[in-house]
Amino acid sequence: MRRAVQVAIAEVSQEITPASTMESSSESEMYSRSRDHRSRRRDALRHKKSRDLATDSVGIAEKIDTLADTLQDASRNLNKVDQMLGQYREHTDDHSDAIATLQDSLEESIHQLQSQRLKRSTSGCSASFSTLHSSLEDGNNFGGRHHNPTSPLTDYRSLEMSNRRSATVRFRDPCQTEEQVHSLHQALRDLRSDQLQLGHEIDQEILKRNRSDIQTRKTLVDLTKQIQESPVEEAVSLRVEKRLQKIESEILSQQQMVSERHCKQQRGNMSTELQTALKRCDAQNHSSEDSYRNRFLRSESEICKLEQDLEGVRKQLVRSESGQGALFQQIEDMQAQLLRSERERAQLQREISVLRFQHRSVLELQERAAEEGLRQGGKVLERELEDLRVQLRQNSSLNETQELKRNVERKENEKKQLALQIEVLSSDLERRDHQQLQILKEVQALSEDRGAELAKVEAQLAENEKKKEELRTKAQEAIRQWKAKCRKLECQLQELKERQSMNQPTQALAERESILRQQIEGTRKQLAEVLGHLAQREEEVRQCNVDLAEARSQLVILKEELGDSRESLRSLEDETQRQSLIQTRLREENQKLEKRLEDLGNRREQEHGSLIELQALVKSLSAERANLNSRLTEAESFRKEQENRLVLVQEEKASLSQQLQLEREVHQRELGHLRQQEDKIKQNHSLHKTLRLYHQEREELKALIKDLKTEAVVDKELVRVLQQKLDRMKAECDILTEQLSSSAESHAKLHKMCQMLKEELEVKIQFSEQMEERRHAAEDSMAEMQKKIANLKLEQTSILHAVESEIDLACKAVCKDSAAKLKAVMLTSGQQNDCHHWLAEMKTKLQWLCDEVCVHETQEKKLTRVVQQCKEQMKTLKQSRDSEQQNLLDRITELERLLQGIVSEKQDLLEKSRRKDDEMRSLQDRVLDLEMSTRLALDHLESVPEKLSLLEDFKDLEESQRQREAVEQRYAKYKEIVGALQHQLEESKRRIQEYRDEKLDATSWSLHLDGLSLSLRSQNKSLTGNASTQMP
């Protein structure tokens, strides 16, 4: 019963909506169109209702609102029903999962039985075989039906024939072991075939239940259609209860049949071991049945809730029907009122037509009498009016001529003023054009001069740079030569020192020392001269740099002036363009004014001709005036006669007026009555209009109700379609959430790795920036040290100059006293003491010089220590960089391993997909084999009329083909999932490629750092070389 209820609810959830899921887009379009149409209708109704009376419109609007509320409540209840149906669908899915677990457990029990049978010894084979054989022989005739086993090695037709021929039990010899083994093997195959048959019967029962579920779904769809078509029929809950009772009775009968079948199969076809396995399965079935019972109770409670919801929906439908009945009654009352008002209106129109005809006849008589009296006086008045019109025409023509003369004079004055203004503006424009041309010429001359100056300055700069480079090359060559000479002298000094250590005679050493000192003094003089030349050249270079800086500043100033001049040129060109536009406009205005003057001249000539014509007309009018005066005299005499006649006519008129007043009073009374009647008619007409409006509103309300009904149907259909889509989307979302969770975990891992690598790269970049800052600081310190070394060089040169001056003074002193000292040496021996004293002084001076050299050596040692410290720092930095590179390489290897793992997972997925393809192929082969076997069985059954009942079982194979198609659909979904996974793998590959590119950037950055370290090493080597040259 539970199963049937679940299936019925699932059918309701699937079959309520029409089978037009592929046309969801068209339905949505129809829905949007209906909504637009609905909104337009509502706007039109609002505009019309604003013109009508307020009371009736409010009542109708309230009724429409109540209908809309009831429809909304019905849609809500339908949504709840759809939700409950989705829950029942989930229960059916759980039931199918439980059946699948049961099948798996049966397969496991079969495998266990096969393993146990194979493990048994040959001794116990005969007993088991006897029991199995007896059970098989007993079970061959249960229920009047026999099912062939599916072992492919035996010919069951021959066995059937043998069973028919001899039904006796045959005992076999225990010695025939091979035959026993073969028969035991055959019996096991028979058991396997029986188990497969049991599974097949279970599948058939499942298919039958599915058929019953389909039937229940169809019945539920029919019920829903009947509910929509005839809402007055009996409640849906009662029908559902009846149908559920029928389904329960069918399910109970099916369960009894299944239990009887199982009992017969257990009694006839199952061995002791299979019975134990079945007991286990029964225990599992009992537990599953308990769970199913609990679920069934839950489903019954949910069914009760559904029934309550359906009762609520039914009540709302009854309310909506009662509201519709009230609306129909009101509409009928309005129709009756409209008919009455139309009848009254017809009567009022008839009365009004009669009154109008009478009124028209009276008015026509009055008008005829008044016209006859007024025609005579009208003729006289017309004559007088003609005379007055002639006089007015004469006066108006004179006034027009005077006004034309005034306009012509005013326009001539304006023309003169405009001509003067045009002359002034033309002179101003010419003057400005001349000024602008002069300014342009000056600017062009300035730009040419500045361009020539710039070319000269650039040529000077190029020459100065060439001279500077030549001086640098010459100075470097001279310094190299002098360094080579100094090195040679140092080598000679070291050789002399070594020879001194060899105990050579002092005189030779003294002579050599004197020679070396003379050479040193000469070299020092040459060095001093070269350094002086270098200082001069450096001063010249500095002056050239100063000149270059000045020239560059002048160039910048000139460029700025050029930019200003260009801007001024642009502004002047803009002004010239504006002025040219103004000139063109003024010329056009002049042309227009000239045309106007020509038109005014033509008009003036025309007016002059018209004046001449008017003068001629005045003369003719004066003649006519004389004639008119004579006629006036005649008219006065005629007027007097007419006055006498008028007196008589007035007397007659007075009598007629009295009669007319009496008649007028009578007519006024009649008019009062007619006006009252007209008021009544107007009131009736207004009522007729209101009735018309009510009729229109009634028609519009009918159309609105129809639209609302159609919209409600469309809404219901949309709700059903959307509910189906939601169910499908939920299932797909569950699958996608699982995939996303797996992909998100992998993505999170990769994202974490990327973030770690990014952080490490940022740290390395910061470290490299710090290294660059340190390198810049080291370069600054090296520059400062170089400056200090240059200062020391200058101090050394000054010291050398002082020594040379002192030596020159000593030489002069020696030269001054040389003759006397030589005489004294030759005459006295005290002069030698003076020479030794001089040598001692020189030694003291040299000692002082040596002390100075030692001081410089200590300073240079300090500098070398600083350089060595910098080298050590560079070594440590290089080691840290190498360690970081190794860490990066390790990380890269780890990422490559991860990639390999992903690739292996991909290969596993591909292998799984291939396996599933193979399984699908094997299933297809099995299905084909089954179809062949079914065909053979059908042929056999057609030959044997006693077994025609098996045709029903073979027809179920068509449903197995349907299941195969469902499996193929699942396989297509699985392929889509695999495609999504492949897309994710491609994205991960792309990210890894980006990471490899970042790795290549890191390697290029490391190579750049290596180049910088090499450059620092070369600079350190050059510094150490300079220090070693300055040591002596």
For residue 709 the two structure tokens come to 């009904």
State which H helix or E strand residue 292 sits in.
helix 272-501
Domain borders along the chain are 341-767, 829-1032
At 947 the pLDDT is: 47
Q: Which residues of 80-100 are buried (b: 16+ CB within 10 A; e: fewer)?
A: ebbebbbebbebbeebeebee
Phi-psi region of 143 (alpha: psi -120 to 50; beta: other; left: phi over 0): left
Mean pLDDT split into 10-residue runs, the chain, 1032 residues:
49 44 41 47 50 55 70 73 73 73 73 72 43 40 41 41 42 52 70 74 77 73 63 51 67 66 54 57 61 65 67 64 61 66 68 66 64 60 64 61 70 72 73 73 73 75 76 74 73 72 60 70 71 73 74 74 73 76 77 78 76 75 73 75 76 76 78 79 78 78 80 78 76 75 74 76 76 76 76 70 59 49 38 50 56 64 76 76 74 72 74 75 72 68 52 59 70 69 70 67 62 58 52 42
Q: What is the dihedral of CA 967, 973, 975, 978, to 10 degrees?
A: -130
At 32 the pLDDT is: 44
At 375 the pLDDT is: 62
At 441 the pLDDT is: 75
Q: Which residues contact 571 (CB under 8 A, 6 or more apart)?
A: none
Residue identified by tokens 């050239």 is: 544
Q: How far apart are CA 748 and CA 761, in angstroms?
A: 19
The DSSP result for 437-501, as a single string, is HHHHHHHHHHHHHHHHHHHHHHHHHHHHHHHHHHHHHHHHHHHHHHHHHHHHHHHHHHHHHHHHH
Give the number of other CB atoms < 10 A from CB of residue 1029. 14
At 506 the pLDDT is: 58
Opening angle at CA 444, ends 441 and 448, nearest 5: 140
Q: How far apart are CA 307 and CA 236, in angstroms?
A: 8
Q: How far apart are CA 504 and CA 519, in angstroms?
A: 22
Please state the separation of Cα 679 from the chain's center in Å: 70
The DSSP result for 544-561, as a single string, is HHHHHHHHHHHHHHHHHH
At 641 the pLDDT is: 78
> What is the sign, positive or negative, of the torsion defined by CA atoms of 798, 801, 805, 811?
positive
Q: How far apart are CA 978 and CA 972, in angstroms?
A: 10
Q: Coil, strand or helix: which one is 122?
A: coil
Find the radius of gyration of the CA atoms of the chain: 64
At 277 the pLDDT is: 58
